[in-house]
Structure formats: structure tokens, C-alpha cells
Amino acid sequence: MKAAHYLVILIAGALFGFGLSYSTMVRPEVVLGFLKFQDWGLMLVMGGAVAVTVLAYQFAPRLLRAPLLGGRFDTKAIPWNRDTAVGAALFGVGWGIAGVCPGPAIAGLGTGNWDLLWALGGTALGALVQGWRAKA
């Protein structure tokens, strides 16, 4: 990867982090409020993000021969199997307890919210234990 790649990746991440903060998704209280049916905002966040991304994912590979900086378009094919089902179910349980998912656990630090280090540490530990138990 060239410097231009990393610059684009940094800007893309920054847009993501700004959006998470602007939409208050970096605040566990807001996410838990959604999960307790007090506020439906998270549907708008998810819906807005998908509305834009679906255009890029569906049209870019059809209109462009390759990504603008070269290489090829990744196709992420995840199978539906036991791991996906159990993993998703567990992810929801953890998300429902903390009100924090992997993105906001990182982005929230940029808003000076050091409490979220607990969530970041927990998530990192969870990923470590998962990989430790898994077969390569």
C-alpha cells in the first residue's frame, strides 16, 4: 500500500468516527435507550449509513474496473453457520449489557470519554480469548 492508501483510510476512518460522535452513538446511554425502545434513533443511523454504502458497494464494482487507487474490490463472503449464529447472538448479549460495540469503543476515546477504556479493554480481551480457543 502507498501513502495515498493510508491517507484515504485515515480520512474514511475519521468520517466514520465523526459520524458515530455526531449521532451520539459513542454514548452507551443512547444505545441502551434504543435497545429499551425509548428512542429509535439508531435505526436512522444504521439506515442512513446503509443507504449510502449500498450505492457504493453495488455500483462501484459495476462502473469501475478497479478501485480508484488500484487493486481489486473485496468481496466479503461470510457463510451462515453455527459460529456466525452463536457469535451474533453473543455479540448482541454483550452489546445489550454495555451499550458499546467495537467501533464506538475506539471512537469514544476521541471524545475524551476514558470510561470507554473498560469497554475497549473488554472487547480486546474477548477477541483474544476467541482467537485463543479457535482453530486456525
Partner 1 sequence: MDITSLFPFGWSHYLVGGLVIGLGVSLLFVFTGLVGGMSSVYSSTWSYLVKRPFFQQARFTQSRGWRLVYAAGLIVGALVWWLVFSDGTAQHTSVPAWQLGLGGFIAGYGARLGNGCTSGHGICGLSSLSLPSLGAVLTFMATAFLTANLFAWVQA
For residues 117-136, which are near partner 1 according to CB under 8 A? 118-132, 134-136
Site for partner 1 in 67-86 (CB under 8 A): 67-69, 71-80, 83-86
Nearest approach, Cβ of residue 48 and partner 1 (Å): 3
Can residue 62 be called a binding residue for partner 1 (CB under 8 A)?
A: no
**88 is an interface residue for partner 1 by CB under 8 A:** yes
Min dist. Cβ of residue 30 to partner 1 (A): 8
Instruction: Produce one character per residue of 79-91: b if its CB has 16 or more CB atoms within 10 Å, e if not.
Output: eeeeeeeeeeeee
> Which of positions 4-23 make contact with partner 1 (CB under 8 A)?
5-6, 8-23
Q: Confirm if 99 and 35 have CB atoms less than 8 A apart.
A: yes
As a three-state string, the secondary structure of 30-95 is HHHHHHCCCCCHHHHHHHHHHHHHHHHHHHHHHHCCCCCCCCCCCCCCCCCCHHHHHHHHHHHHHH
CB of 105 to partner 1, least distance (A): 6
Angle CA 47–79–128, to nearest 5: 85
> Binding of partner 1 at residue 3 (CB under 8 A)?
no
* Total residues at interface with partner 1 (CB under 8 A): 117
CB of 62 to partner 1, least distance (A): 12
